[in-house]
Amino acid sequence: MAEKIPPLKTGLDWSGYESHGSFGGFDSFGSFGESEAAAPAPSGSGGFAKAAAVCAGKRHCHNTDKGVMCPSYRVTRDDIHSTHHRASTLKAALDGEYGAHPFAGPELAAAMDLCVSCKGCKSECPHGVDMAQLRIETLAQRWKARGGVPLRERMFAYTPRFAMHLKQLNWMNSVRQRIPLIAKSMERWLGIAAKRSLPKAAARDFLASAPQAVHVPENAREVVLLVDTFSNHLDPQIAQAALEVLQAAGYTVHIAQPAAGERPLCCGRTFLSNGLIDEARAEATRLLDALTPFAERGFPVIGLEPSCLLMLRDEYHAMGLGERVATLAKSAVLLEEFLAREHAAKRLELALKPMAKKLLVHGHCHQKAFGAMEAMRKVLALVPELQLEFIESSCCGMAGSFGMEAEHYEVSMQMGELALLPQVRAANADTLLIANGTSCRHQIRDGAAREAQHLAQVLRLALV
């Protein structure tokens, strides 16, 4: 017999769903579409329950052809690892079928276990089920019901806070690789997969040498470069390449900076992905404080890491951050989106030399979900003689911290082996590889022993 669950105080804002009682869900443009078989929402929990009821049970998430959705189903071919099953389980939980405290129980945890938050369902499901966002709220409710966040998840979430110290721990990574017993001990104590390499921090952060302010010539074309945690601490060469490309194209580049004396800016992605909504909101507020003045002046805010930049156009709307979000979202663009837009408007002045090389491109899930891959194609086509090939793949399998987790390592590698890793291994040694996502590059390094680059780095190579 179903039990009535206590009223939920949700961490995210689900009010956009509340005025719709029986519906199919969001279409690819974010508006509500009609369902062929509308699903009744659970009686309680407001918009959160209705967001779960967006799934109409058509099982488009069982697609295994082109597209991203659903990575876990593509590996297991079992409905229990599909978007449909996750939505159905969440609806049942909110209807009281798993007791009065379902978020502390095993059913929801099992249903969400292999979700990699790829956003494929939001763009590829005809009803726009946003399982990645539903998963965030479910995790937050789970930690609340259990009385705290597990140590491993807190470590992953707080990565931006201690990233500045990672360079001091590079030696530990080297020792861990040489002594398997240490890796196995970390797996047993912390749940970090022994077979997975750890990220290596750069010797010098990008922001440590970035200009605090720039001279702005008269009639300058001004942009803002948002350097995320990963591009700052792990791959500063990517941020440097982006800076040089933008400057070569004639733009005056402002580097987004925190208030004096504060730690580097962070979008809050790692916190949100691990269900720490309040912490993510605090980081997002700092970012809004820094970027809103630029956005209000109409400056493009250019990002490098897809999951970080696109968060400004997506999850920020559900975090209760006020009207500033809409202004910033209109200005936020990935580097490839900005360059493609400037080229289409005949404003791009970027001299590129021929590169008679083959280039293999893997798209980050969020790039695909938000339609940014066409911009990538258009920008790379500006490089004379470059031979482009785009890998038709779903999620790489790394998916932030997912592939670091001991219980998910094997599934993570299976996702990569569906298409990405075999094609990378088959590529000639002189073939260039692009993967704009930090996690994607990590997976390629571990699974194919190859180093992938960011679009910005390839463009810098092509500068005249």
pLDDT tens sequence across 141-150: 999 999 999 9
pLDDT beyond 60 at 38: no
Q: What is the pTM of this model?
A: 0.92
pLDDT given for residue 45 in this prediction: 63
Identify whether the C-beta of residue 68 lies closer than 8 Å to the C-beta of residue 120. yes
Lowest mean pLDDT among 85-89, 171-175, 243-247: 171-175
pLDDT beyond 90 at 349: yes
pLDDT given for residue 430 in this prediction: 95
DSSP E strands, 329-386 = 332-334, 358-362
Residue 41, amino acid = A
CATH class of segment(s) 343-462: alpha beta
Give which of 115, 145, 162 is closest to 8, Cα–Cα.
145
Instruction: Tell whether omega for the bond before 70 is within 30 degrees of 0, i.e. cis.
Output: yes
Which residues contact residue 89 at a Cβ distance below 8 angstroms, ignoring those fewer than 6 apart? 107, 108, 111
pLDDT beyond 70 at 128: yes
pLDDT average, residue stretch 282-303: 97
**Which tokens go with 25?**
């869900």
pLDDT beyond 80 at 280: yes
pLDDT given for residue 254 in this prediction: 97
pLDDT tier at 26, thresholds 50, 70, 90 = very low
Tell me the domain boundaries of the chain.
15-146, 151-190, 221-342, 343-462
pLDDT 10s digits, 409-436 = 999 999 999 999 999 999 999 999 999 9
Identify whether the C-beta of residue 424 lies closer than 8 Å to the C-beta of residue 448. yes
pLDDT beyond 60 at 399: yes
Query: In angstroms, what CA-CA distances link 217 with 95, 222, 247, 251?
Result: 61, 10, 13, 10
Identify whether the C-beta of residue 337 lies closer than 8 Å to the C-beta of residue 370. no
Is the fold of 221-342 the same as that of 343-462?
A: yes
pLDDT average, residue stretch 300-317: 97
pLDDT given for residue 37 in this prediction: 42
Q: pLDDT above 90 covers what percent of the chain?
A: 80
pLDDT average, residue stretch 182-192: 95
pLDDT given for residue 66 in this prediction: 86
- Spatial separation of the C-alpha atoms in residues 298 and 244, rounded to whole Å: 22
Lowest mean pLDDT among 41-50, 85-94, 130-139, 215-224: 41-50
pLDDT average, residue stretch 249-268: 94
Of the options 3.30.1490, 2.40.128, 1.10.3430, 3.40.50, the CATH number for the domain spanning 221-342 = 3.40.50
pLDDT 10s digits, 205-242 = 999 888 877 888 888 999 999 999 999 999 999 999 99
pLDDT given for residue 39 in this prediction: 54
pLDDT 10s digits, 165-180 = 989 888 888 899 899 9
- Spatial separation of the C-alpha atoms in residues 150 and 155, rounded to whole Å: 9
Residue keyed to tokens 């750890």? 198
pLDDT given for residue 211 in this prediction: 81
pLDDT tier at 1, thresholds 50, 70, 90 = low
pLDDT beyond 90 at 188: yes
